[in-house]
């Protein structure tokens, strides 16, 4: 203990001297009479003092002042000593406190580092983030209040000194910022087909007073103020045809007067929050969250909006899709804005393992139509198989069953553990045979199934079957050869006193004399109309007779047409009068053909899209037209989800066919208001003796009907069976599900048709009306009536870029009336994205060149055949800056529809190989597709370029026409997405603000955690589609997923760490420090 400075020894005194003298047995000096008196009073007890008396000296009057001065000096010195001692005490205490505070700070920082280690270790070992993992679980306890909310929710972690003694401790709270809602992307009033996260609901869940006003204030701030709009005001920033919509606001690329909240504290002043409200909001909201735009396996996602069908095949093969080829081209056509059919080559074959008796511990089984080898024995004897295979290099996929694993598969010494059905096993070079081994090493009781191998050629020039997609417009119905044959055997014959003779059972009537007879047929399937009449004898050159039609009599020979037309009424009664006046010749009557061709032949188109479609100038070509191309006239517009009929002669006015009483409208009873147009025939129309849609082709030719835009893009391509089968008389050929491509003869052309229904209500044709055929009916089992589908309401082809992977719900699967099933979507959604960087050419051009800037980009036009495209003044240069560093796929775009333009590209980040093995800066000629797209390749944007994080391109025009365009560049994918919510870590209050959320759904989502790798297939949000968490029916699951997909993820990159550090002395806290920080896990 310190000695109190106020305790001082007393000064020396006479009393003290006297006591000293008595201890020595004598009197002090100068004691005077006082000592004598004392001695006198004690004379009876002690010896007397015998010293002589001493006289008292005279006292100096200054001696008292000196004493006072001395005492004062001593007092001052004492006070100074006390002050100095107290100051030293305080400094010592302050120094000790400073050391303790510094120690506490370092200990709190150690807590932050410990949290970082937990997060890094988790990131290295797990593809998902959830609240059961060490980073979330280990810091929890009831000893420390790390987040300063008044509740102890953390455990103390002790810190030892060099001697092993405890010198401090820290507590942690690690909060996943991705489990909160990002205020920069939530919307005050989400609406539309893809509604966003509800900011008002979030504020209500946080207990914010005036939640609506606060949310609207945040939104106004982001848009630049009360008069602001998302993106650049009055501009279609995302080029989707709509101006100033919410998704044009992009917190990563601010446009116009847009702003973003840089810190959560910004919300306090913007929304007028109290301290308590801000504290509550901080537990549910953030401005820091982002998600890397890579799959769970770490691969860059493919932008479905800009990828080609062939590029998508590779993604879907890797994802284990059953038919990745049809799925890929359907995906491409679903989202691309052009009208050109997407195509890819199916270069694959399946090698099946047949029943060979027991193979190791595997035995042959049959389930339904699938035969397979199965094993339930863990670590049993392997199945071994020497498979006969073609030579070449292939990607091999294992074929098993959808509902169970294949097992550990080894091919040519290369093994894949726990392979699943259609999982890629690797790339192999084969030559005749390959050794396959399969063993069950799954958990005890898990059965495995193996059926064979699928070999997918990696040769880009290899042969295979062409697979085509489905565009927004399809040929939906055809009226081909609208004729009916009338045989005498089915007629009511009236000889009328003539010499006509029809023997029983004979197919020909004869007349060797004279006279007129009648033949009458009654057929309710013959629609009331006028018809061409053609009569037949039994052989070429025979005379049939004098045939009377519509009051006109003409002598006709075998196969000849009457010049008049025959009227058939509602009763379906058809009567022919045939006479003979010259008895020396025999006439022959075998039958007749009533025909509506070519006048009433038609083709019906269906628009499967959401917007009207102008088909003016579109053509119908191909071998099935006999070379007589038809064209849709100006003003031919199809309504959204509507149909349009193109007929040869709509109203009996087609050149060469007019005024004969036969028309499509009259023959098929088409209402005047129905969407029907008369086709044009630029090279000359058909005649009454020539059909338009052929039923007979020259030997060796392939039947084909092609629908092209006015720019030449192939929209649809079909064929019908020859000779016609499945239809008769006046039955049309119809599509069932128009998104299904049937290719029975494997020639890459759709040949799937249904004959139109014939019933009391329908006569076998439906121009400008809903189709009616067997393909529209979906069986529901033996006891339930079938579902009758209507393509105009049941199917939508977007034909535009989608804004969410959730919009993949509805993509045609290739199976009638079945879009992609939830189990198929679950495999692919984590591999795809809709986000990329669109870089406009306008404003990015550099220097002077022959490329001239236009409203929509740049144009090069030089028709000089002697031009040098490589001359410096002929090369255009563009530069874009402020691009996040990373690796991208680069596309360039000409104007849409500019098919076949050719360019060469030079980019610092790219090199191209030449035939001699050397490399060059310039690409080979690259041609635009129907979108005007050129796929350039992979480029890397670096911080080391000049300027940093920039992309510079040189482009030379190589088109033979001397014309090229450049409107934009596209870098895919965008490296990060802002604001998706981690469905594994979000609290209930956050889930409630997600689009379409209900309490039961939120409860199921929380109960089913964690998502992302439940099947050990790293499917990310695809896990949400497994089981019944999103709904009990397929339709419900897909509908919920459609709304949620854009706004959720299963992992996290941004965390808030709150660390409390304490310095201890004798296990008592001497100092406490707190750190709150946001970190990004790399």
- Residues contacting 692, CB < 8 A, separation 6+: 597, 598, 601, 625, 626, 628, 630, 648, 686
3-state secondary structure of 749: coil
The residue with greater pLDDT, 660 or 91, is 660
Beta-bridge mates of residue 788: 777
pLDDT tens track for 103-156: 999 999 999 999 999 999 998 888 999 999 999 999 999 999 998 889 999 999
Res 927: pLDDT: 95
Q: How high is the pLDDT of residue 626?
A: 87
**698, 634 Cβ separation under 8 angstroms:** no
Note the pLDDT of residue 614: 97
Q: Is 1066 exposed, middle or buried (0-12, 13-18, 19+ CB in 10 A)?
A: exposed
What is residue 26's predicted lDDT score, i.e. its pLDDT? Answer: 41
Going by DSSP bridges, is the β-strand pair 452-457/370-375 parallel, antiparallel, or unpaired? unpaired
Per the prediction, the chain carries an average pLDDT of 89
Instruction: Give the separation between CA 932 and CA 43, rounded to whole angstroms.
Output: 140
Among the listed residues 1016, 1025, 1020, the one whose alpha carbon sits nearest the alpha carbon of residue 442: 1016
Averaging pLDDT over each range in 12-16, 51-55, 434-438, which range is the top one? 434-438
Model confidence at 723: pLDDT above 80: no
Q: Region 251-274: what's the mean pLDDT? A: 93
Task: Indicate whether 885 pLDDT > 80.
Answer: yes
Contact indicator for 305, 802 with CB cutoff of 8 Å: yes
What's residue 71's pLDDT? 76
Q: Which domains does the chain have, with CATH numbers?
A: 101-170+1055-1080 (no CATH), 181-288 (1.10.40), 294-341+797-835+980-1049 (no CATH), 348-462 (2.60.120.260), 483-595 (2.60.120.260), 598-793 (no CATH), 837-972 (2.60.120.260)
> Do 468 and 342 meet the contact criterion of CB atoms below 8 Å apart?
yes
Tokens found for residue 48: 């007397």
Residue 858 and residue 845 in contact, taking contact as beta carbons nearer than 8 Å: yes
Q: What is the pLDDT of residues 61-103, one digit of tens each?
A: 556 777 777 777 777 787 777 777 766 766 766 677 788 899 9
pLDDT at 899: 85
The pLDDT tens digits of the residues spanning 333-347 come to 999 999 999 999 999
35-44, 86-95, 675-684, 720-729: which range is least confident on average? Answer: 35-44
Residue 965 is predicted with a pLDDT of 96
Tell which wins on pLDDT, 970 or 723.
970
- Cite the DSSP H helix spans in 867-931: none
The residue written with tokens 């088109």 in the block is 959
pLDDT confidence band for 896 (50 / 70 / 90): confident
SS3 string of 988-1003?
A: HHHHCCCCCCCHHHHH
- State the pLDDT at residue 62: 58
User: Roughly how many angstroms between the first and final C-alpha of the chain, as a whole number?
Assistant: 54
What is the mean predicted confidence (pLDDT) over 971-995?
96
pLDDT computed for residue 4 by the predictor: 31
> How many Å is the Cα radius of gyration of the chain?
47
Q: How many helices (H) and strands (E) does the chain have?
A: 16, 69
Rounded Cα–Cα distance for residues 1074 and 103 (Å) = 12
pLDDT tens-digit map of 15-49: 333 333 333 334 333 333 333 333 333 333 333 33
Q: Please check the confidence at residue 499 and state whether its pLDDT lies above 90.
A: yes
The region of weakest confidence among 66-70, 475-479, 634-638 is 66-70
Q: Per-residue pLDDT averaged across 698-704, rounded?
A: 79
- Give yes or no for a contact between 226 and 236, defined as CB atoms under 8 angstroms apart: no
Of the candidates 212, 2, 205, the residue with the CA atom closest to the CA atom of residue 87:
2
Q: Which two tokens stand for residue 255?
A: 């446009």
Report which of residues 958 and 910 the model is more confident about.
958
- Structure token digits, residue 370: 């699938």
Whether residue 768 contacts residue 670, with contact meaning beta carbons closer than 8 Å, is answered with yes
Q: Which pLDDT belongs to residue 726?
A: 63
Beta bridge partners, 573, equal 522
Percent of the chain with pLDDT over 90: 75
Q: Is the pLDDT of residue 959 over 60?
A: yes
Partners of 479 in beta bridges: 602
Lowest mean pLDDT among 360-364, 417-421, 450-454, 778-782: 778-782
Q: Environment class of residue 574 by beta-carbon count within 10 Å: exposed (0-12), middle (13-18) or buried (19+)? A: buried
| Cβ atoms of residues 329 and 343 within 8 Å | yes
Average pLDDT over residues 264-284: 96
Helix 324-335 and helix 309-319, axial crossing angle in degrees, nearest 10 = 130
Residues 734-790: tens digit of each pLDDT: 999 999 999 988 888 999 999 999 886 778 999 999 999 999 999 988 788 999 999
For residue 649, the model assigns a pLDDT of 97
Question: Is the backbone peptide bond immediately before 931 cis, with ω within 30 degrees of 0?
Answer: no
pLDDT confidence bin for 584, thresholds 50/70/90: confident
Question: 3-state class of 804 per DSSP?
Answer: coil
Residue 913: pLDDT above 90? Answer: no
* Whether residue 52 has pLDDT greater than 60: no
């Amino acid at each position: 203990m310190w000695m109190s400075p106020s305790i001082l020894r007393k000064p020396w005194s006479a009393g003290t001297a006297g006591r000293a003298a008595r201890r020595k047995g004598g009197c002090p000096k100068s004691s005077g009479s006082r000592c004598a008196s004392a001695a006198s009073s004690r004379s009876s007890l002690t010896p007397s003092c015998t010293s002589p008396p001493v006289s008292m000296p005279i006292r100096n009057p200054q001696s008292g002042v000196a004493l006072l001065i001395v005492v004062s000096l001593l007092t001052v010195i004492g006070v100074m000593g006390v002050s100095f001692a107290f100051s030293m005490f305080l400094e010592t205490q302050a120094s000790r406190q400073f050391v303790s505070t510094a120690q506490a700070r370092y200990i709190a920082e150690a807590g932050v580092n410990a949290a970082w280690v937990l997060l890094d270790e988790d990131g290295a070992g797990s593809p998902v983030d959830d609240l059961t993992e060490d980073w979330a679980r280990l810091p929890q306890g009831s000893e420390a209040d790390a987040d300063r909310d008044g509740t102890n929710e953390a455990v103390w972690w002790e810190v030892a000194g060099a001697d092993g003694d405890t010198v401090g401790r820290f507590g942690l709270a690690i909060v996943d910022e991705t489990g909160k809602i990002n205020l920069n992307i939530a919307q005050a009033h989400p609406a539309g087909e893809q509604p966003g996260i509800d900011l008002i609901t979030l504020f209500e869940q946080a207990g914010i007073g005036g939640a609506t006003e606060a949310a609207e204030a945040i939104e106004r701030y982001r848009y630049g103020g009360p008069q602001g709009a998302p993106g650049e005001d009055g501009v279609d920033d995302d080029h989707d045809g709509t101006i100033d919509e919410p998704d044009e606001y992009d917190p990563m690329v601010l446009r116009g007067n847009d702003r973003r909240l840089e810190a959560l504290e910004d919300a306090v002043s913007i929304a007028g929050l109290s301290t308590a409200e801000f504290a509550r909001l901080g537990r549910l909201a953030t401005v820091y969250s982002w998600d890397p735009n890579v799959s769970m396996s770490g691969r860059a996602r493919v932008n479905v909006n800009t990828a080609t069908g062939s590029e998508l095949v590779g993604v879907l093969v890797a994802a284990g899709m059953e038919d990745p080829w049809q799925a890929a081209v359907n995906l491409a056509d679903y989202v691309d804005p052009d009208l050109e059919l997407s195509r890819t080559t199916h270069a694959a074959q399946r090698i099946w393992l047949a029943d060979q008796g027991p193979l190791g511990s595997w035995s042959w089984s049959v389930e339904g139509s699938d035969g397979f080898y199965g094993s339930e024995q863990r670590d049993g004897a392997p199945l071994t198989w020497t498979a006969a295979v073609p030579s070449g290099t292939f990607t091999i996929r294992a074929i098993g069953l959808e509902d169970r694993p294949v097992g550990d598969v080894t091919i040519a010494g290369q093994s894949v553990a726990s392979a699943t059905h259609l999982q890629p096993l690797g790339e192999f070079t084969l030559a005749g045979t390959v050794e396959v081994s399969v063993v069950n090493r799954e958990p005890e009781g898990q059965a495995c199934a193996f059926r064979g191998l699928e070999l997918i050629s990696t040769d880009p020039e290899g042969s295979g079957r062409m697979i085509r997609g489905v565009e927004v417009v399809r040929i939906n119905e055809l009226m081909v050869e609208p004729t009916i044959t009338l045989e005498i055997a089915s007629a009511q014959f009236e000889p009328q006193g003539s010499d006509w003779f029809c023997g029983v059972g004979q197919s020909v009537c004869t007349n060797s004399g004279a006279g007129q007879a009648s033949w009458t047929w009654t057929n309710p399937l013959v629609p009331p109309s006028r018809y061409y009449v053609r009569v037949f004898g039994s052989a070429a050159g025979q005379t049939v007779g004098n045939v009377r039609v519509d009051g006109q009599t003409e002598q006709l020979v075998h196969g000849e047409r009457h010049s008049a037309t025959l009227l058939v009424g509602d009763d379906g009664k058809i009567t022919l009068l045939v006479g003979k006046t010259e008895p020396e010749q025999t006439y022959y009557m075998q039958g007749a053909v009533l025909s509506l061709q070519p006048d009433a032949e038609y083709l019906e188109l269906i628009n499967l899209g959401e917007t009207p479609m102008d088909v003016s100038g579109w053509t119908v070509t191909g071998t099935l037209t006999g070379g007589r191309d038809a064209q849709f006239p100006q003003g031919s517009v199809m309504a959204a989800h509507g149909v349009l009929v193109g007929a040869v002669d709509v109203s009996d006015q087609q050149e060469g066919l007019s005024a004969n009483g036969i028309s499509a409208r009259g023959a098929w009873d088409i209402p005047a208001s129905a969407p029907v147009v008369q086709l044009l025939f630029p090279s000359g129309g058909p005649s009454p003796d020539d059909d338009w849609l052929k039923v007979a082709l020259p030997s060796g030719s392939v039947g084909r009907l092609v629908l092209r835009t006015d720019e030449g893009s192939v929209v649809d391509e079909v064929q019908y069976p020859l000779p016609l089968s499945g239809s008769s008389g006046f039955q049309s050929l119809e599509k069932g599900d128009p998104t299904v491509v049937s290719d029975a003869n494997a020639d890459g052309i759709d040949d799937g048709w249904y004959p139109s229904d014939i019933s009391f209500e329908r006569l076998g044709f439906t121009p400008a009306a809903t189709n009616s055929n067997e393909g529209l009916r979906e069986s529901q089992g033996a006891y339930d009536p079938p579902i009758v589908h209507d393509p105009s309401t049941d199917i939508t082809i977007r034909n535009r870029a989608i804004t969410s992977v959730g919009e993949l719900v509805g993509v045609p699967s290739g199976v009638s009336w079945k879009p992609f099933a939830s189990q198929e979507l679950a495999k692919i959604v984590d591999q795809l994205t809709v986000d990329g960087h669109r870089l406009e050419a306008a404003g990015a051009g550099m220097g002077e060149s022959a490329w001239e800037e236009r409203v929509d980009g740049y144009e090069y036009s030089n028709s000089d055949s002697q031009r040098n495209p490589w001359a410096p003044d002929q090369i255009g240069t563009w530069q874009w800056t402020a691009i996040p560093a990373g690796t991208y796929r680069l596309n360039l775009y000409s104007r849409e529809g500019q098919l076949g333009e050719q360019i060469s590209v030079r980019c610092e980040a790219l090199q191209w190989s030449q035939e001699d093995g050397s490399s060059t800066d310039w690409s080979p000629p690259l041609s635009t597709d129907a979108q005007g797209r050129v796929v350039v390749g992979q480029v890397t944007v670096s911080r080391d370029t000049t300027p940093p994080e920039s992309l510079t391109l040189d482009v030379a025009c190589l088109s033979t026409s001397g014309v090229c365009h450049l409107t934009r560049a596209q870098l895919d994918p965008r490296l990060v997405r802002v604001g998706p919510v981690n469905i594994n870590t979000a609290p209930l209050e956050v889930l409630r603000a997600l689009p379409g959320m209900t309490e039961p759904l939120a409860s199921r989502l929380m109960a089913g955690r964690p998502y992302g790798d439940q099947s050990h297939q790293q499917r990310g949000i695809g896990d949400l589609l497994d089981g019944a968490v999103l709904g009990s029916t397929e339709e419900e699951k897909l509908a919920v997923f459609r709304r949620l997909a854009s706004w959720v993820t299963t992992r996290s990159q941004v965390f808030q760490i709150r660390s409390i550090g304490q310095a201890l002395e004798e296990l008592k806290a001497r100092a406490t420090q707190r750190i709150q920080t946001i970190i990004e896990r790399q």
